[in-house]
């Protein structure tokens, strides 16, 4: 019969109880009983020995050997006596039973006693008796009755023990075996088995509770399996690449969609590290995802390159969420992998488009600034200088305005191609916008290399460009700045090269200029002037100075030229040429022109009240940027407001305005002419095609440039002769075209005389009067009269 552990422990407990409690008592009982029996037998032996020893006295006295032999035999017959020896005093008789004495060790004790005989003369010792008492076992000491009692006791104990075993097996072991069998069947077969046991005791309650527990677990297991099946179905049916990993980044589960998208088999990926499927350069990024890409909410986001089963590589965005392991649950992880290859390519495409100029294919400003930052870091690391070339085309605006934007785009593309051909493969070129290009050169001799390449760039643009079948000449102004000699940052390097380019522009264009620190002062002064312009427009610092224009024949004041002045409250009058140049560049010239025009016309209205000046005219200079369609209407409103007729207004334009050949400018000039205003061509003879303008545009007055006037009194006879011929030619052509002539820049009486002799009608200059504000001009006008000798009576101021 198979012994079960519970039964074994029960038997061990019972046996232990018997050994601990019953056995000691039984042993104590045996010992006490054995001692009692031993004492009783010893007393009986002693009594027997004493009686028989006294009986031996007479036979020994009489030497009756047969009687002695009978007595010894009877003694030796006792169960407790193993050996008897009787000797007389004279050693005549020596009887032993048995004949051979046993081993002394087998004797429990040896009793020796003298044998006495009462003779007539007293008690005599007639011999000795030696009796060996036999050693006996523990149970040999007991009688049959006692042994029967012992047997009954052992039987009772055995019966009790057997009953306990049988009862334990029936009441405990059998239900436990059934419970164990149910548990084992549940474990092996997976189904919930119940215990077939009913009783009203604790084992019955245990079986009942176990069956209820099994039923509950079976229901929960069914629900769990159903939930797991649903979760698995959802996991696999979700149209996303789902996968789970353990704490060691080993894949524990993947969805069907993941397998379909990647081409792997499930058994080939489960248990593998996820990084085994990531390309090597992205593995470190994935390993550091928790430290570098953890977002709020415990979601980790990382983009890596993933290798599919067919060895194709895709970009994937992985969103991972999970919980760490704890004492109550294992670590959980769920990752969603999305193929973003197209998105990454689109991003790369968009990035390339974002940093690329769509027209020329070069980098744009954003791309250039990004590369510049990188090259600055590279220059710091290698210890090599970095040169920045700022390239600006000199006549591009004229091409755009006169030939159209399509032609301008063609020019930009051809220029970009020519610039690129002069550079090394490692050099960076970008179009910053409009007609501005920037180039980066990195080399140990960056400064000299930049100068050499800049010269080549300028030379490459000398050959005409073919645009729409026509040849166009384009030049460039190039500014150079070197890092770290001229600038400490990327932005500063670009700014310094820009400064150098503008310095080249101011020096005559079409060349190369290396940055120097004086340019910073120029730029600072320019910024200061721009601030003065802005504040002057806000605080009304701009005023109109008027310079008289007189008739050279009689000295009569015929009109006035309005000139712009900025009167700073602390610095006084600022140089107008610099202000006009900057205002035309930043677009504020229109506001300045409106302010001067308004004040000049108001001043003319005041002057008109003076005797002899009611018909004097006002010449106003207009920037090309002021020729807007609304100009005639604005001017008409001002004239109406001040009571001035349009015929008293002369609009002065330069050949630069006419060179634009802009339809808008032409329309505005025609409108002004129709309004009644006269048109004056300023600085005549200094442009490119002056004569043609007299025929193409409604010009009424021609103004001789002051450079020709000064040359009339030159110390060099040849210069004087040529200047006289030029002025006379201008006069003749102008008169033939029906235009009056005004000579500018008269500073000496000799110039007056010469011009008067040439039959030049009008003149102006410092000999006559400087440009003055209205109050000072009104005082000055009193000095003008009809002189007998004009050249000697004119007073310079």
Per-residue pLDDT tens over the stretch 462-482: 899 988 888 888 999 999 999
The pLDDT value given to residue 789: 38
Cα atoms in the 13 Å half-sphere on the side-chain side of 341: 10
- At residue 136 the predicted structure's pLDDT band, cuts being 50, 70 and 90, is low
The pLDDT value given to residue 788: 37
Higher pLDDT, 660 or 362: 362
Among 152-161, 324-333, 554-563, name the most confident range. Answer: 554-563
In the three-class reduction of DSSP (H, G, I as helix; E, B as strand; rest coil), residue 251 is classed as: strand
The pLDDT value given to residue 740: 93
Query: pTM higher than 0.75, yes or no?
Result: no
How far is residue 647 CA from its own chain's centroid? 71
Q: CA–CA separation, 635 vs 491, rounded Å?
A: 44
Q: How is residue 462 annotated by DSSP?
A: S
Write the pLDDT tens digit of every residue in 742-763: 999 999 999 999 999 999 999 9
Q: Residue 630 burial by CB count (10 A; 0-12/13-18/19+): exposed, middle or buried?
A: exposed
The pLDDT value given to residue 148: 82
**Mean pLDDT for the stretch of residues 321-329:** 61
- Scan for tokens 């019972």, then name that residue: 14
Instruction: Check if the beta carbon of residue 638 is closer than 8 Å to that of residue 597.
Output: yes
The pLDDT value given to residue 173: 74
Range with the lowest mean pLDDT among 322-331, 597-606, 758-767?
A: 322-331
Cis peptide leading into 647, omega within 30 of 0?
no
Interaxial angle between packed helices 405-421 and 446-460, expressed in degrees from 0 to 180 and rounded to the nearest 10: 140
- At residue 171 the predicted structure's pLDDT band, cuts being 50, 70 and 90, is confident
The pLDDT value given to residue 690: 53
The pLDDT value given to residue 748: 92
Q: CA–CA separation, 335 vs 639, rounded Å?
A: 79
In the three-class reduction of DSSP (H, G, I as helix; E, B as strand; rest coil), residue 707 is classed as: helix
Range with the lowest mean pLDDT among 74-83, 424-433, 495-504, 711-720?
A: 74-83
Give, for 777, the enclosing helix (H) or strand (E): helix 774-780
| 3-state helix vs strand vs coil in the chain, percent to 5 | 50, 20, 25
Pairing of strands 542-551, 557-568: antiparallel
Instruction: Check if the beta carbon of residue 67 is closer than 8 Å to that of residue 73.
Output: no
CA separation, residue 768 to residues 338, 697, 795 (Å): 85, 31, 6
Q: CA–CA separation, 464 vs 469, rounded Å?
A: 11
Q: How is residue 3 annotated by DSSP?
A: P
Residue 366 CB contacts under 8 Å (≥ 6 apart), including other chains: 354, 355
Residues paired with residue 388 on neighbouring β-strands, in sequence order:
440, 481
Q: Residue 713 burial by CB count (10 A; 0-12/13-18/19+): exposed, middle or buried?
A: middle
Range with the lowest mean pLDDT among 110-114, 186-190, 205-209, 426-430?
A: 186-190
Nearest to 482 by CA among 385, 559, 401, 406: 385
Write the pLDDT tens digit of every residue in 193-225: 777 777 777 777 887 788 888 888 888 888 888
The pLDDT value given to residue 787: 42
Give, for 254, the enclosing helix (H) or strand (E): strand 251-254
Q: CA–CA separation, 595 vs 634, rounded Å?
A: 12
Residue 7 CB contacts under 8 Å (≥ 6 apart), including other chains: 165, 168, 169, 173
Cα angle 748, 757, 695; round to 5: 100
CA separation, residue 342 to residues 129, 140, 347, 348, 354 (Å): 129, 107, 8, 10, 17
The pLDDT value given to residue 796: 36
The tokens for 495 are 């700014």
CA separation, residue 108 to residues 27, 82, 87, 136, 141 (Å): 21, 10, 22, 8, 13
Q: CA–CA separation, 287 vs 270, rounded Å?
A: 19
In the three-class reduction of DSSP (H, G, I as helix; E, B as strand; rest coil), residue 745 is classed as: coil
The pLDDT value given to residue 472: 86
- Residue 433 φ/ψ, nearest 5 degrees: 145, 150
Q: Where are the alpha helices (DSSP H) in 383-445?
A: 396-403, 405-421
- At residue 517 the predicted structure's pLDDT band, cuts being 50, 70 and 90, is confident
pLDDT at 797 over 60: no
Residue 702 CB contacts under 8 Å (≥ 6 apart), including other chains: 680, 681, 684, 694, 730, 734, 739, 740, 741, 742
pLDDT at 503 over 80: yes
Q: What percent of the chain has pLDDT over 90?
A: 35
The pLDDT value given to residue 423: 92
- Residue 572 φ/ψ, nearest 5 degrees: 75, -150
Query: Residue 661 — left, alpha, or beta (φ > 0 → left; ψ -120 to 50 → alpha)?
Result: left
The pLDDT value given to residue 541: 94
How far is residue 152 CA from its own chain's centroid? 94
The tokens for 126 are 């007639």
Among 169-183, 418-432, 517-531, name the most confident range. Answer: 418-432
Q: CA–CA separation, 232 vs 226, rounded Å?
A: 10
pLDDT at 386 over 90: yes
The tokens for 63 are 């030497």
Pairing of strands 332-339, 241-245: antiparallel
The pLDDT value given to residue 689: 46
Q: CA–CA separation, 747 vs 706, rounded Å?
A: 10
The pLDDT value given to residue 131: 82
CB atoms within 10 A of CB 160: 13
The tokens for 398 are 């004229």
Q: Residue 136 burial by CB count (10 A; 0-12/13-18/19+): exposed, middle or buried?
A: middle
- At residue 1 the predicted structure's pLDDT band, cuts being 50, 70 and 90, is very low
Q: CA–CA separation, 374 vs 377, rounded Å?
A: 5
CA separation, residue 472 to residues 112, 415, 436 (Å): 164, 12, 18
**Mean pLDDT for the stretch of residues 230-239:** 81
Give, for 319, the enclosing helix (H) or strand (E): strand 313-323
Residue 555 CB contacts under 8 Å (≥ 6 apart), including other chains: 784, 785, 786, 787, 790, 793, 794
Write the pLDDT tens digit of every residue in 271-315: 999 999 999 988 888 888 877 766 666 688 888 999 999 999 999
Instruction: Check if the beta carbon of residue 320 is closer than 8 Å to that of residue 299.
Output: yes
Average pLDDT score, the chain:
84
Q: CA–CA separation, 554 vs 401, rounded Å?
A: 45
Q: CA–CA separation, 251 vs 307, rounded Å?
A: 15
Pairing of strands 762-763, 313-323: unpaired
What is the separation, in whole angstroms, between the first and last Cα of the chain?
Answer: 145
- At residue 354 the predicted structure's pLDDT band, cuts being 50, 70 and 90, is confident
Q: What percent of the chain has pLDDT over 70?
A: 89
- At residue 21 the predicted structure's pLDDT band, cuts being 50, 70 and 90, is confident
Higher pLDDT, 647 or 247: 647
The pLDDT value given to residue 794: 40
Instruction: Check if the beta carbon of residue 468 is closer than 8 Å to that of residue 411.
Output: no
The pLDDT value given to residue 691: 60
pLDDT at 538 over 90: yes
Nearest to 388 by CA among 440, 448, 445, 456: 440
**Mean pLDDT for the stretch of residues 654-680:** 82
The tokens for 620 are 């106003």
């Amino acid at each position: 019969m198979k012994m079960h552990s519970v039964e074994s422990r029960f038997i061990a407990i019972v046996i232990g109880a018997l050994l601990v409690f019953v056995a000691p008592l039984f042993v104590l009982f045996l010992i006490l009983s054995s001692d009692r029996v031993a004492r009783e037998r010893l007393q009986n032996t002693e009594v027997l020995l004493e009686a028989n020893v006294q009986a031996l006295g007479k036979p020994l006295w009489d030497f009756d050997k047969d009687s002695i032999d009978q007595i010894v035999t009877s003694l030796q017959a006792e169960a407790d006596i193993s050996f008897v020896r009787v000797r007389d005093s004279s050693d005549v008789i020596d009887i032993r039973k048995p004949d051979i004495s046993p081993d002394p060790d087998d004797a429990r004790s040896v009793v020796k006693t003298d044998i006495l005989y009462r003779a007539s003369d007293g008690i005599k010792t007639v011999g000795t008796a030696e009796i060996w008492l036999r050693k006996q076992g523990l149970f040999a000491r007991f009688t049959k009755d006692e042994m029967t009692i012992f047997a009954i006791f052992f039987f009772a104990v055995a019966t009790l023990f057997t009953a306990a075993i049988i009862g334990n097996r029936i009441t405990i072991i059998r239900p436990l075996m059934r419970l164990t069998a149910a548990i084992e069947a549940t474990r092996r077969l997976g189904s919930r088995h119940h215990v077939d046991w009913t009783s009203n005791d604790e084992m019955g309650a245990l079986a009942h509770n176990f069956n209820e527990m099994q039923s509950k677990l079976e229901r929960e297991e069914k629900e769990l399996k159903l939930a797991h099946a649903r979760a698995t179905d959802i996991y696999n049916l979700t149209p996303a690449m789902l996968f789970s990993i353990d704490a060691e980044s080993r894949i524990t589960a993947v969805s069907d969609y993941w397998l379909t998208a990647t081409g792997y088999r499930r058994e080939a990926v489960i248990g593998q590290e996820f990084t085994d499927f990531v390309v090597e350069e992205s593995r470190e990024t994935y390993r550091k995802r928790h430290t570098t890409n953890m977002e709020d909410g415990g979601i980790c986001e990382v983009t890596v390159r993933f290798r599919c089963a067919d060895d194709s590589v895709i970009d994937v965005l992985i969103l991972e969420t999970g919980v760490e392991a704890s004492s109550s649950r294992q670590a959980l992880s769920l990752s969603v992998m999305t193929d973003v290859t197209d998105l990454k390519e689109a991003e790369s495409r968009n990035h390339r488009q974002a940093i690329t100029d769509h027209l020329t294919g070069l980098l744009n400003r954003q791309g250039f600034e990004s590369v510049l930052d990188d090259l600055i870091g590279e220059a710091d690391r290698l210890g090599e200088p970095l040169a920045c070339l700022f390239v600006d085309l000199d006549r591009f605006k004229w091409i755009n305005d006169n030939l159209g934007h399509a032609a301008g785009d063609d020019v930009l593309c051809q220029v970009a191609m020519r610039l690129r051909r002069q550079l090394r493969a490692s050099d960076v070129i970008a179009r910053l916008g409009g007609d501005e290009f920037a180039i980066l050169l990195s080399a140990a001799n960056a400064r000299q290399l930049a100068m050499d390449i800049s010269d080549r760039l300028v030379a490459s643009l000398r050959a005409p460009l073919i645009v729409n079948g026509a040849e166009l000449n384009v030049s460039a102004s190039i500014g150079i700045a070197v890092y770290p000699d001229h600038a400490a940052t990327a932005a500063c390097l670009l700014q310094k090269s820009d400064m150098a380019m503008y310095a080249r522009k101011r020096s005559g264009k079409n060349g190369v200029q290396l940055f120097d620190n004086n340019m910073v002062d120029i730029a600072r002064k320019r910024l200061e002037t721009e601030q003065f312009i802005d504040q002057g427009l806000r605080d009304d610092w701009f005023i109109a100075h008027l310079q008289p224009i007189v008739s050279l024949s009689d000295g009569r004041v015929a009109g006035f030229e309005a000139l712009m002045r900025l009167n700073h409250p602390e610095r006084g009058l600022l140089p107008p040429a610099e202000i006009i140049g900057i205002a035309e560049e930043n677009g504020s010239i229109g506001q300045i022109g409106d302010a001067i025009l308004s004040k000049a016309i108001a001043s003319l209205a005041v002057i008109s009240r003076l005797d002899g000046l009611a018909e004097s005219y006002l010449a106003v200079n207009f920037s090309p940027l002021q020729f807007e369609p609304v100009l005639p209407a604005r001017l008409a409103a001002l004239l109406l407001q001040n009571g001035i007729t349009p015929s008293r207004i002369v609009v002065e334009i330069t050949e630069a305005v006419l060179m634009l050949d802009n339809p808008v400018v032409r329309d505005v000039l025609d409108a002004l002419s129709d309004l009644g205003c006269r048109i004056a061509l300023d600085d005549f003879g200094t442009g490119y095609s002056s004569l043609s303008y007299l025929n193409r545009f409604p010009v009424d007055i021609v103004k001789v440039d002051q450079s020709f006037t000064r040359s009339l009194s030159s110390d060099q006879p040849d210069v004087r002769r040529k200047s006289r011929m030029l002025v006379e030619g201008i006069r003749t052509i102008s008169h033939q075209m029906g235009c009056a002539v005004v000579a500018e820049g008269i500073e000496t009486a000799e110039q007056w005389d010469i011009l008067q002799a040439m039959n030049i009608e009008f003149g102006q200059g410092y000999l006559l009067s400087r440009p003055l504000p209205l109050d000072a001009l009104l005082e000055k006008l009193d000095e003008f009269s009809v002189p007998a000798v004009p050249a000697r009576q004119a007073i310079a101021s």
